[in-house]
Structure formats: C-alpha cells, structure tokens
C-alpha cells in the first residue's frame, strides 16, 4: 500500500521535472488582444502603446498598424477608447478595418497568426529534417566600423550613456552596458525585428521572382508566429517585439538588381549575399563598410530609435518560381551567430511556407548564441557559449538521451541546454533567470553625522548586470542589463517603506539619482535606509544605510537680552534657550554699520570690556553649528 503510494508520487515528480521548464498552458496566461490603429504614424503607435502601459498592460508585438497587447482583466473596453485605436480584436479577423495612409501593412495577417494557439504541438507539421550547416560565425567587425556605418551613432561613444555624476537622463541608445556591437547578447526584453522581403528589379540580370501581397503576408505572419512561440517559452524573459517590414515590391529600398535565388547564398563570400545585401543595406541608408558593419549598424540604430534592447535583421529571398526553394549552393536558411542577420527563402526547401515560423525560430535562436544540436551538425558536448556560457550538452552526436529541442528538429520543444545558451538559466538559484534577476544597487551620498533638521537622503540607484560569461570570439561581450530602475524606497528605524523621488527626471532608466526627505524625527540616533527597485521586481537586498544623530531645534532667544554698564565696559546677559550649545554675540557701532562677531560662549552672559556703547545681537547656536537669529 505505502509502496504503491510512493511510486505514484514519483511519477508526479517526474512529470513536473519534464514539463517544469515549458511555457505554462495558454489558458493560464493573459490572452493577447489586438489593437488596430487609426493610422500608421509612429506618433499614433507610441501614444497607443503609452496608453496600454498606463492601463497596466504590455505591448507584446508592435506592427505599424497593429499592437498585440496583454492587458489586466477587463481592460479591453478602456483600450478601445485610447486615442488612435480604431478597433480592438479579441480573435483573428477576416479583414482589417479601414484606416488612413497607404499600405501594405502586415499587422492583420500577423495578428491572425499570433491569435492561433501556438502553445501546443501540431502533429501535422513535423520537421522534414535538420537545416544543415546554418549557423555561421560572422567576420569580426570593429566598433569603429559600426559607428562609421551608423546613421545615428556616429561620433557617440559606444556603451553606457549614463554617468554616475549627472542628474540629467540622456536618451539610451542601447541597454545598460551594451555597445553597438552587442545587438543580440541574450534573449530577454524588447527586440526590434527588421524584415526585408528582397525583390529583384531586373536592372543587373533578369528577374524571375516577384512577390505578391498575399505571399508577403504569409512570410510576415509566419515570422510573427515564430516570435510568439519564442515569447511563450519563457515568461520571465519578458519578451516584446517591434517589427519593421520593408517589402521590396512596393518599397524601393528592398530591391536589388540581382535575382538572389539564382546565385549561391555564399554567406561568407562575395558571390551571393554580399552582392544583394550590400546593395539593399546601401539603399536603406548604410553606405559605409561591408555588409556586416552595415547590418550591425542598422540593427543598432533600429533599437536606438525603438528604445528596445536588441535588434535582428531578417532577409527573406523570394523562391516561389525556383524549383527547389534553395540557393545555388543548397542553402535556404542560415543565421550569423550573435547576429546581426539571418537569411531565409520564401519556401525554405522542403519546409514550405507553412513552416516559416519553425524555420524562423531555429534561425533566430542562433542570433542569440544557441548551438545546433542535430547529430550531423558536427556538434560536440564540450563546446560552450552564450551569455551564461552553457556547454552544448544536448548535442545528439554525443548525448544518446538528448532531449527533444528546436535546435535538433525545429519542433515544439526547447531543451535546458538551449535555454542556458539564450540566458534562460537560474544559476544563482534565486528563482529568476540570471539575466533578469540581478538585484539593483543603492548608493547613498554622505550626510553630516549630526543634524538639527529632518535629514534629506540623496543617492544613486543602479541596475546590476549579470556577468556576461560568453567567450565566443569575434566581438566583445560586456555585461549588460535590460532592467530599469522603477523606484527607490526608504525608511527610518525599520518603519514601513516610503517612496523616494527621482531627481531631474523620472524612473524607467538603468541609473538615476533620487532624493528622500525624511519625516520630522525626535532627538536621538536614527537608522536611515534606501533600496532601489527595478521593473522586474528585484529589490536591493542590502539597502544603502546611514546612521544619524538628530538634535533638537534650538529655541528662540526672545526679548531676554539685558545690558548694563560695568566698569569701563558693558555686561550683557540673556535667558537660556532650549537646545542651544553656545551663543554668539555680534556688535555694530551704529544701527546701519556692518556687524562683526565679537564672542562665542556657552554661558548666558558676557562682558564687552572694550566698549561702553554699541548695538548687540545674541544668537543661540544649535548642536549642528547653526544659528537662530529671530
Ligand atoms: Zn541551425
């Protein structure tokens, strides 16, 4: 009896261990809804997004014309009344509402793909096989080359825009600690996604492929579904995506004189990608350096403009007319490890357009340092990389019991090894993935040990970045945090915490100065503490602390001063003032003359032996050296 009970308990535990790392079922999560926007201006989009945040919601996927959002229960009606919101959709929609401005816009198709439940496996969509040799090391590009290529970062120092000394908040062009080279270091926070639907214009060689609006929508909705699947894998990563689509059919920036699918992909050479991608990046505005410097600069500029943490560029080459959906060298989908871009064809060889989401998610994870794990990839279990430096222990070539994983089969599973490569591991055991779970720091400015009026605490609150352990060659790997300070709390002698105020700005920044005016305190010793809080809910567990002795305020002297002639001088006396540690005597020769300090005494009388006339003022001095003159 007891034996049977024990056995069933173990079964329950095992199930928990297997499924514990997976996304919770969709029914347990807030259901995303879509806001169709009135027009496609960035201002409308930003205002609507700000409205969603004010309602306590989050924007999960932002397209030009549609915001896919998560709201607290019952928020739909209020969201529908936000300025710029034309219509709210709870489910997929047959047609987009009429709006101002020219299209094409892809939000409706993307929303329909996202609205389908992507949290469960679809047995009809197994992978046809691994995508061979699709993870490539990009050539090393210097920070100077990326800055030179950039349209918005030129001349700006890379990395942190915050300083410890300034109270002024500057616009962040990168997450805390990142440089323009670090556009995809770990997969958490907000990600900008540039999508180019590459179109041939026949100017250099004959064009044999031409996009249609219907197929553009298929591609963008497949990409969005792939990102939604990724988002659902790790709620703690707080993933959000902002999309910018350049359809070459209607946007000249996405056009090339070549017909890319007729050439080798040649990702590292000069006969394929180099020709058309360099051309297109030039049309987008990136004319300096090779395609890797241009692509990285585009990613860096996009995240700066969007205020996101990371960015990845996605080039999709049309292959509808092509017989095998592959480039001439057999490639059809590949990604540069650590970014800045990935390339796919429209129908991805045997995968087909219906599996675009599956191809996207595998390739995208390479941009964030995930390894291939299929047996023929040449993987080995001792290789290691990623922000948390994980070994490739789920490699099927050396692990006979490798877990199912998107990096093996592109299926619906995500293994623990890949999670660690992306930064999704709780190595410090605090219940939060390390890249999000670092407690912020609180630094207090010094104040006098003795005070006679309520003390004002000031200091600096700062997020703390998890250590970047990535040793992958080719670029620097600084420690980076995507968290933001959301407040500072302070208290006196263990009282309930109170809110400090940001100095010269508002919260929502990686580092910021604060000020906290303490309440009036009774005389005696007091213990003051302040702790920073970030937007992920981390609190400084070792608050900044100061001890201070508060002295009573000194009482006024009133009318108690008396003066009498004494010998050749003048004897002055006054009544004692509560809280006074001394008295200062000032003298003037006439009512309009300048005063001078002639004595300081702890007594309540003093004789001026040098003068028999004069004008005197006595001021009590408090324990902090301050005078009271009334
Ligand atoms: Zn791969």
Per residue in 408-445, pLDDT (tens digit) is 988 789 999 999 999 999 999 999 999 999 999 999 99
Q: Tell me the C-alpha distance between 369 and 475, whole Å.
A: 13
Cα 198 to ligand 1 centroid, rounded to whole Å: 22
Q: Is the dihedral of CA 499, 503, 507, 513 positive or negative?
A: negative
- Cβ atoms 597, 557 nearer than 8 A: no
Distance CA 44, CA 47 (A): 5
- The CA 193 to ligand 1 mean position distance, Å, reads 19
557 Cα to the center of ligand 1, angstroms? 83
> Residue 490 Cα, ligand 1 centroid: separation in angstroms?
49
pLDDT in tens, 518-577: 888 899 999 999 999 999 999 999 999 999 999 988 888 888 889 888 888 899 999 999
Supply the pLDDT for residue 117.
66
Cβ 118 vs Cβ 228: under 8 Å: yes
From the CA of 328, how far away is ligand 1's center (Å)?
19
From ligand 1's centre to the CA of 394, what distance in Å? 14
Question: For residue 414, how far is its CA from the centre of ligand 1 (angstroms)?
Answer: 14
Beta bridge partners of 583: 601, 620
For residue 26, report the distance from its CA to the centre of ligand 1, in Å: 27
Cα(353) to ligand 1 centroid in Å equals 18
Cβ atoms of 447 and 527 within 8 Å: the answer is: no
> Which two three-digit tokens encode residue 39?
């027009």
> Do 204 and 262 meet the contact criterion of CB atoms below 8 Å apart?
no
Cα 365 to ligand 1 centroid, rounded to whole Å? 8
Q: How far is the CA of 132 from the centre of ligand 1 (A)?
A: 7
User: Ligand 1 centroid to 459 CA: how many Å?
Assistant: 47
* Res 2: pLDDT: 33
> What is the reported pLDDT for 521?
87
Contact partners, residue 564, CB within 8 Å, separation at least 6 = 570, 571
Q: What is the pLDDT of residue 410?
A: 80
What pLDDT score was predicted for residue 172? 63
Q: What are the strands of the beta sheet with 485-492, ordered from one edge? A: 450-451, 544-550, 524-534, 485-492, 498-499
Q: How far is the CA of 290 from the centre of ligand 1 (A)?
A: 24
- Per-residue model confidence (pLDDT) at position 18: 30
């Amino acid at each position: 009896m007891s034996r049977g009970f024990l056995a069933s308990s173990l079964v329950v535990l095992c199930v928990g261990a297997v499924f514990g790392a997976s996304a919770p079922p969709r029914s347990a999560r807030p259901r995303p809804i879509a806001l169709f926007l009135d027009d496609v201006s960035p201002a409308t989009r930003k205002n609507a997004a700000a409205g969603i945040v004010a309602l306590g919601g989050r924007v999960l996927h932002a397209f030009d014309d549609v915001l896919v959002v998560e709201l607290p229960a019952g928020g739909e009606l209020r969201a529908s009344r936000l300025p710029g919101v034309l219509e709210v959709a709870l489910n997929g929609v047959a047609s987009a509402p009429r709006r101002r401005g020219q299209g094409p816009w892809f939000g409706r198709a993307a929303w329909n793909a996202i609205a389908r439940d992507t949290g469960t496996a679809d047995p009809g969509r197994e992978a046809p096989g691994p995508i061979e040799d699709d993870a490539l090391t990009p050539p090393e590009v210097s920070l100077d080359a990326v800055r030179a290529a950039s349209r918005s970062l030129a001349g700006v120092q890379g990395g942190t825009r915050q300083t410890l000394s300034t109270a002024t908040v500057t616009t962040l062009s990168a997450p805390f600690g990142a440089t323009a080279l670090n556009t995809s270091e770990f997969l958490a926070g907000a990600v900008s996604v540039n999508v180019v639907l590459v179109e041939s214009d026949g100017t250099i060689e004959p064009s044999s492929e031409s996009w249609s609006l219907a197929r553009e929508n298929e591609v963008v909705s497949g990409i969005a579904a792939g990102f939604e699947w990724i988002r659902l894998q790790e709620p703690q990563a707080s993933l959000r995506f902002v999309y910018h689509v350049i359809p070459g059919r209607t946007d000249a920036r996405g056009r090339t004189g070549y017909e890319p699918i007729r050439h080798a992909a040649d990702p590292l050479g000069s006969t394929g990608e180099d020709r058309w991608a360099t051309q297109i990046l030039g049309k987008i505005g990136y004319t300096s350096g090779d395609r890797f410097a241009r692509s990285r600069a585009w990613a860096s500029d996009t995240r700066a403009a969007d205020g996101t943490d990371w960015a990845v560029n996605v080039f999709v080459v049309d292959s509808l007319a092509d017989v095998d959906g592959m480039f001439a060298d057999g490639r059809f989908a590949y990604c540069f490890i650590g970014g800045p871009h990935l390339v796919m064809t429209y129908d991805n060889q045997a995968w087909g357009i219906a599996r675009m989401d599956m191809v996207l998610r595998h390739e995208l994870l390479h941009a964030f340092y995930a390894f291939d794990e299929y047996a023929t990839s040449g993987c080995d279990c001792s290789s290691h990389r990623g922000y948390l430096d994980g070994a490739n222990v789920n490699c099927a070539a050396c692990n006979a019991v490798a877990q199912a994983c998107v990096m093996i089969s592109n299926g619906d599973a995500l293994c623990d090894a890949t999670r660690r490569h992306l930064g999704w591991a709780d190595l410090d055991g605090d219940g939060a993935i390390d890249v999000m779970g670092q407690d912020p720091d609180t630094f207090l400015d010094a104040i006098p040990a003795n005070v006679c009026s309520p003390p004002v605490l000031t200091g600096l609150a700062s997020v703390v970045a998890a250590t970047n352990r990535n040793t992958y060659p080719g670029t620097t790997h600084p420690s980076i945090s995507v968290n933001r300070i959301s407040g500072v709390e302070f208290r006196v002698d263990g009282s309930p915490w109170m809110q400090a105020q940001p100095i010269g700005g508002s919260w929502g920044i990686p580092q910021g100065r604060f000020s906290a005016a303490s309440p009036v305190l009774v005389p005696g010793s007091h213990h003051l503490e302040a702790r920073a809080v970030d937007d992920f809910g981390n609190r400084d567990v070792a608050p900044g602390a100061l001890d201070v002795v508060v002295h009573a305020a000194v009482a006024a002297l009133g009318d108690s001063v008396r003066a009498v002639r004494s010998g050749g001088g003048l004897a002055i006396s006054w009544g004692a003032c509560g809280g006074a540690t001394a008295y200062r005597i000032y003298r003037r020769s006439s009512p309009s003359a300048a005063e001078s300090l002639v004595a300081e005494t702890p007594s309540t009388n003093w004789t001026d032996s040098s003068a028999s006339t004069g004008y005197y003022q006595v001021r009590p001095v408090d324990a902090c050296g301050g005078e009271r003159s009334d």
